[in-house]
Amino acid sequence: MSVDLARVLSSRYATKVFDADKPAAEDKTQQLIETLRLAPSSINSQPWHFYVISNPEEKRRLSQCAWDSNKAKFDDASHVFVFCGKTTYEIEDLQALEELVAEQRGTEVNQARVEFLGGFVNSMDATERKYWIRDQVYLAFGQFLLSCALLELDACPVEGFSREEMDELLGLKEKGLNSVVVGIVGHRHEDDFNTPVKASKVRYPIEQVVTEIR
């Protein structure tokens, strides 16, 4: 399959107005969910959990924690993806991961790897670890946005909500999770003012953001 990446990436945009009568197709949202599971992460830590909400009352309830400018997106788009990170990552998590590797590959648990990677994890204090976990969640989020575009689904990345309130609404603390970022998915309303045709994409020139050293 050859993909015209430039076309895909210049046609995706942060959708501001969703069409409540055009839900995302189930087979596409299932493919999107699989992209979350397949996302890469540092040391394959996968320190995350994703909530995928399509229930209308639940979407409305969660919209309470969104900025006013984002509330209608929760209502009108068919799916709200809440990207969460673990509150911490410990040696026990590494041990469980290596046990999964052994189980899935039919090998012995690589205890030396647990020790080695444990040194890396332990080199981070609690704050560094929190941001490291958040970095991993954002990697999955980037892959998710690209995947939406490839699946011809419209999406809006959303940080405009209270993480503390989202954590409360989803009961995340007791599950050892924190909300990080939200992805709203559906199809654009024909009146959306932010399509690339109505509001052209603004990016810095290539020389300002890229230095090629050949």
Ligand X SMILES: Cc1cc2nc3c(=O)[nH]c(=O)nc-3n(C[C@H](O)[C@H](O)[C@H](O)COP(=O)(O)O)c2cc1C
Q: Site mask, ligand X, residues 61-80, x = CB under 6 A? A: ---------x----------
Give me the sign of the Cα torsion angle 146, 147, 150, 156. Answer: negative
- Residue 62 Cβ vs ligand X, minimum distance, rounded to whole Å: 14
Q: Residues 31, 43, 160, 168: which binds ligand X (CB under 6 A)?
A: 160
Nearer CB in complex with ligand X: 19/98: 19
Residue 81 in the binding site for ligand X (CB under 6 A) = no
Task: Output the CA–CA distances (angstroms, integers) from residue 210 to 10, 12, 143, in the order listed.
Answer: 18, 21, 21
Residue 134 in the binding site for ligand X (CB under 6 A) = no
Do 186 and 23 touch, CB atoms closer than 8 A?
Answer: yes
Residue 85 in the binding site for ligand X (CB under 6 A) = no
Residue 14 in the binding site for ligand X (CB under 6 A) = yes
Give me the sign of the Cα torsion angle 32, 156, 62, 131. Answer: positive
Residue 148 in the binding site for ligand X (CB under 6 A) = no
- CA 14, CA 194: separation in Å to the nearest integer? 7
- Residue 104 Cβ vs ligand X, minimum distance, rounded to whole Å: 32
Residue 13 in the binding site for ligand X (CB under 6 A) = yes
Look at residues 121, 115, 113, 112 and name the one whose alpha carbon lies nearest to residue 89.
121
Nearer CB in complex with ligand X: 50/114: 50
- Residue 125 Cβ vs ligand X, minimum distance, rounded to whole Å: 25
Backbone angles phi, psi at 111, to 5 degrees: -65, -30
- Strands 154-158 and 79-86, how do they pair? unpaired
Could you tell me the two tokens for 181?
Answer: 């970022």
Task: Output the CA–CA distances (angstroms, integers) from residue 189 to 23, 24, 27, 118, in the order listed.
Answer: 11, 13, 21, 49
Nearer CB in complex with ligand X: 98/192: 192
Total residues contacting ligand X (rule CB under 6 A)? 11
Nearer CB in complex with ligand X: 18/117: 18
134: which residues sit within 8 A by CB, 6+ positions away? 85, 180
Q: By CB under 6 A, what part of segment 174-213 binds ligand X?
A: 181, 201
Nearer CB in complex with ligand X: 13/48: 13
Contacts with ligand X by CB under 6 A lie at 13-14, 16, 70, 156-160, 181, 201
